[in-house]
Amino acid sequence: MSATPSLDATAINVPVTDQSARGSLHRKIGWQGAFWVASGVPALVLFSIGAIASTVGKPAWLAWMLSISFGFIQAFTYAEIAGMFPHKSGGASVYGAIAWVRYSKFIAPISVWCNWLAWTPVLAIGSGLAAGYILIASFPADAVINTWQITLFDLGFIKTGLALRINATFILGAAVLLGVFGIQHGGILRSSKVTMILGLAALIPLMLIGIVPILTGDVTAANFFPIAPLAYDDVGNVVNGVWDIEGWKLMAGGMFIAAWSTYAFETSVCYTREFRNPKTDTFKAIFYSGLLCIAVFTLVPIAFQADLGLGHLVTPAVLDAAGNVVTPAVYDGMLAPDIYSGMGVASVLAAMLGGGQQIGNIIVIMLVLALLLSIMTSMAGSSRTLYQGAVDGWLPKYLSHANEHGAPTRAMWTDLCFNLALLLMSDYVFVLAVSNVCYIIFNFLNLNSGWIHRLDRPNWVRPYKAPVILLVLGTILSFVNVALMGLGANIWGEGTLWSGVICASLILPVFLFRHYVQDKGIFPKAMVEDMHVGDEDGVKKRAGILPFIAIAVAILIVIGMQQL
């Protein structure tokens, strides 16, 4: 940032000392508050641990370890660019968009939009899983409350078996969403206090689940080795696969879907505009959130796999005369159907700690609290992305409103309504995979924004400046991530990659409406100041065509991996 006093980051748009302005966010928390709001991220392991285990097989634990390692390296780039704009909320996508907008006003909003589309489904998936945990713990699996369903619309043309439906999971999940909305309506300070309480209650069982099996020695090497991809023989029995293209596709798919959880602690920089001391709090928030995530995303998958094992064939598939599958094969262990869907994960994790039915129910309740924590994290982060996107001129103006508590209520209502629609979906894993296509696009744009900012704003003050090696590694990983997406996205459904690309492209008509209809082709004043379009104060387009080359290479990588 320029040394010019008038352009000090804390003086742009809204002063640090402004605590009372209605319609803007308030500076009320330290890094600890953001840490507790982001502490819902470790609970995201519950969302896909079953799906990854039952799809990848024995290498699942390795996929989680590699993924959280990638996420931690990438976090240093996000910490740097967030510190450059402490007057903004909304997370890394907002800071990255400022780098890209000088090269293309149509690429920049994709960053903000994809960040929101990646984060907001946590509300629907988390509330759906929480509802499922409660129903399974309270009623037999074949009880009417668990089996009734009204199908509203068949989406089989997108993915086989996908539909919009109303059932008990939807009704209970909707109630959970409304409860979280009520808490967040009171602003970030109330949210951080509630998440601290939930965090202490919810993270304890996750850490116990990760540590106890290791301490007791309940780790069987046969459940992890040999590190071979999942495969089946002609009868349907589970066998060790080989590392051919099909094996690498499974590994890539596992790491692709794990990224949605393991990279997500970058949300801790989403509250820069609400830090009392953004210059020091920004890096601390993302660094300590990252350490917590390393522990959970390493230990819990290992313990989970150690307890369940890969699984065996229980009931062979039933085929018709033409050889088509009438009834799929049934497996136990990590390959069990309720493990893939996620609905049976809580019961398994509870059983790992022993103690009988009552203790098991307590553990399930604590895991439900963990899911509530992740929902609160998502609503807080995704609504602020919408809010700042509207303030900056990317999204419709109505989203740029905050109530007297500093909560972006219109953005929160938008989140809520959108996720009520997602909650109707019959396959949450598919929803997660599609949203993760958007997340990888956001991730690519923002990791590359780090070096673009270095070139265009070399003299800006950076409260935290990432070592060059970490900035380079983050850039390399941005291309690794798109390769994993190209190779592995469609193992979660043939339409996954294109569905995600289509969702990402929906920002274009939204942005065209905001920019050319509402704003008459002119960005808001505060955004113009951040863009420094006049090349003043040492800010200048120095990257040339390199940003476009980076995008072109990424597209070629995805196409090449798809051809494999």
For residue 187, give the DSSP letter.
-
For residue 318, the cross-strand partners are: 327
C-alpha to C-alpha distance for 558 and 564, rounded to whole angstroms: 10
SS3 for 91? coil
Cβ contacts of 215 within 8 Å, gap of 6 or more: none
What pLDDT does 19 receive? 37
What pLDDT does 17 receive? 37
Query: Which of 63, 21, 72, 16 minimizes the C-alpha distance to 263?
Result: 72
C-alpha to C-alpha distance for 428 and 426, rounded to whole angstroms: 6
What pLDDT does 5 receive? 31
What pLDDT does 18 receive? 38
Cβ contacts of 453 within 8 Å, gap of 6 or more: 80, 81, 84, 98, 99, 460
What pLDDT does 15 receive? 37
Q: Are 253 and 488 within 8 A, CB to CB?
A: yes
What pLDDT does 58 receive? 92
What pLDDT does 477 receive? 97
C-alpha to C-alpha distance for 458 and 470, rounded to whole angstroms: 17
Q: If residue 486 lies in a helix (H) or strand (E), which one and from where to where?
A: helix 468-488
Residue 532 Rama label (left phi>0; alpha psi -120 to 50; beta): left
Cβ contacts of 247 within 8 Å, gap of 6 or more: 228, 229, 231, 241
> CB neighbours (10 Å) of residue 160?
11
Q: Are 526 and 391 within 8 A, CB to CB?
A: yes
pTM: 0.85
Cβ contacts of 390 within 8 Å, gap of 6 or more: 396, 397, 398, 399, 400, 411, 514
What pLDDT does 323 receive? 74
C-alpha to C-alpha distance for 389 and 380, rounded to whole angstroms: 14
Q: Are 435 and 121 within 8 A, CB to CB?
A: yes
User: CB-based burial of residue 23 (10 Å sphere; 0-12 exposed, 13-18 middle, 19+ buried)?
Assistant: exposed
Q: Are 285 and 271 within 8 A, CB to CB?
A: yes
SS3 for 151? strand
Strands 230-232 and 318-319 come out as: unpaired
pLDDT tens-place values along the chain, 564 residues long: 333 333 333 333 333 333 334 444 556 666 676 676 667 788 888 888 888 998 899 999 999 999 999 999 998 898 888 878 777 665 677 888 889 988 998 998 998 899 899 888 888 988 998 898 888 878 887 888 888 899 998 888 877 778 899 999 999 999 988 887 777 665 555 555 666 777 777 777 778 888 877 777 777 788 888 999 999 888 888 899 999 999 999 999 999 999 999 998 887 766 666 667 767 777 788 888 888 899 999 999 998 888 888 888 888 888 877 777 778 888 888 888 888 887 788 888 777 777 667 777 777 887 888 888 788 777 777 888 888 888 888 899 898 887 776 778 888 889 889 999 999 988 888 889 999 999 999 999 999 999 999 999 988 888 888 899 999 999 999 999 999 999 999 999 888 999 999 999 999 999 999 999 999 988 888 777 766 655 556 678 888 999 999 999 999 999 999 888
| H helical segments located in 263-327 | 278-308
C-alpha to C-alpha distance for 283 and 274, rounded to whole angstroms: 14
Provide Rg for the chain, Cα atoms. Answer: 23
SS3 for 235? coil
| H helical segments located in 185-324 | 188-216, 245-262, 278-308
Dig out the tokens for 431 from the structure.
């929803």
C-alpha to C-alpha distance for 186 and 511, rounded to whole angstroms: 30
C-alpha to C-alpha distance for 47 and 305, rounded to whole angstroms: 15
